[in-house]
Structures are given as C-alpha cells and as structure tokens.
C-alpha cells in the first residue's frame, strides 16, 4: 500500500504533524509513504491530483479547507484513491462530524483494517467575482453570504489568540461590516 500525506504548510503544529507522519512510517503499514507541505492556496488540490495517481490512500492534514482542496484534486482522477483526514486545522468541522481524531495510532488501525467510511459529496457550479464559471466539490457544508464571508476572513487572519477567539471576533465584526450580496440558487 502507498500512502501520501498532504500537509497544510501553514499549520501551527507542523513539528507535531511531521512527528506523527514519522510514527506512521515506523509502523511499516505502507510500502511507500510520501509527505508534502502545501506552499500556497490551491496547492493541496494540485498535490492531490498528482499524488492520487500514484497512491492508494491520500491523507489531508489540516482543516476543512485542506480537506476541501484535497477532495477537489482527487475528484479530477478517473479512479481516485481513498481519502483520509488528520485534523490539524482551525475549526475541523468535518472531522468532528465524522468523528476523526488526531491520534496517529487510530489512523494506522483504520487504514490497516481498511475501515473506510463513505460520506456525501456535493458539487456546486458558481460564478467567481470576475464572472468566470467554475465547479467545485464540497464535503460537510457549503457556505455563502455572511457564512462564507466569515470563513474567508478567518482563513486570511493570523489567529494570535487561537481559532475559537478569532471565529467569535470575526462573527461579531461581520455582523457590522458585512454587506449583502446577491445570490441565486437553482
């Protein structure tokens, strides 16, 4: 079995993440283990498409955004591999919903026993700010309006007081600064 880890390069606990990946390698569960840190927004999508062609399992290491990018990369493939999540992000809504932990031994056991869990996947066609049309897959939830506005602002922030504080502050700030946008749903 070949396993790849796509790590959010901006994750706050990179040294702990890399130690966990070494722990995975030492388990000798996989004949090949690859690990790549993302370098910019959208990079996880590119890496997932490339690594997904050569690996049986691709693990998104980060938060909901990293998982979303990895899904979008894997869905470009005719035969996508199994996707896993190792949650080290800001909110980790998806991993809480499907009850995934940061415990590497649990991940090793799940992969060893091939205990895969199917989840729903959605597809949305939308127009970007420059009016170009794109299609994106989503897992767990899709956000637009003030919800999307909050997520975008949190993603761009430094989070000096932690994720929870940043989310709460951004929600309250957004109630004052958010301007309605037109949304059409078909």
Encoding tokens for residue 13? Answer: 């606990």
Burial class (CB in 10 A: 0-12, 13-18, 19+), 10: middle
Closest CA to 90 of 64, 116, 115: 64
For the chain, give the mean pLDDT. Answer: 88
Q: What is the pLDDT of residues 23-65, one digit of tens each?
A: 999 998 899 999 999 999 899 999 999 999 999 999 999 988 8
Closest CA to 7 of 83, 54, 63: 63
Residues 65 and 151: their CA atoms lie apart, in Å, by: 10
Q: Is the pLDDT of residue 6 over 80?
A: yes
Residue 1's pLDDT is: 93
Q: Is the pLDDT of residue 144 over 90?
A: no
Report the 10 Å Cβ neighbour count for 151.
Answer: 19
Output DSSP code: residue 42.
T
Residues 66 and 60: their CA atoms lie apart, in Å, by: 6
What residues pair up with 35 in beta bridges, in sequence order? 5
- Over residues 137-165, the mean pLDDT reads 80
Residues 108 and 85: their CA atoms lie apart, in Å, by: 12
- Over residues 117-134, the mean pLDDT reads 87
Residue 91's pLDDT is: 75
């Amino acid at each position: 079995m070949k396993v790849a880890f796509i790590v959010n390069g901006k994750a706050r606990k990179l040294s702990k993440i890399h130690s966990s990946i070494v722990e995975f390698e030492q388990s000798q569960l996989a004949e090949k283990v690859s690990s790549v840190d993302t370098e910019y927004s959208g990079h996880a999508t590119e890496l997932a498409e490339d690594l997904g062609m050569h690996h049986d399992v691709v693990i998104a290491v980060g938060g909901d955004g990293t998982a979303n990018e990895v899904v979008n990369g894997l869905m470009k493939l005719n035969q996508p591999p199994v996707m896993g999540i190792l949650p080290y992000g800001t909110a980790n809504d998806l991993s809480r919903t499907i009850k995934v932990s940061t415990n590497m031994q649990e991940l090793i056991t799940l992969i060893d026993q091939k205990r895969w869990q199917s989840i729903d996947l959605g597809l949305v066609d939308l127009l970007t700010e420059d009016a170009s049309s794109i299609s994106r897959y989503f897992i767990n939830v899709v956000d637009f309006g003030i919800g999307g506005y909050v997520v975008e602002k949190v993603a761009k922030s430094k989070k000096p007081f932690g994720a929870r504080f940043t989310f709460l502050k951004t929600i309250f700030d957004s109630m004052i600064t958010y301007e309605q946008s037109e949304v059409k749903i078909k």
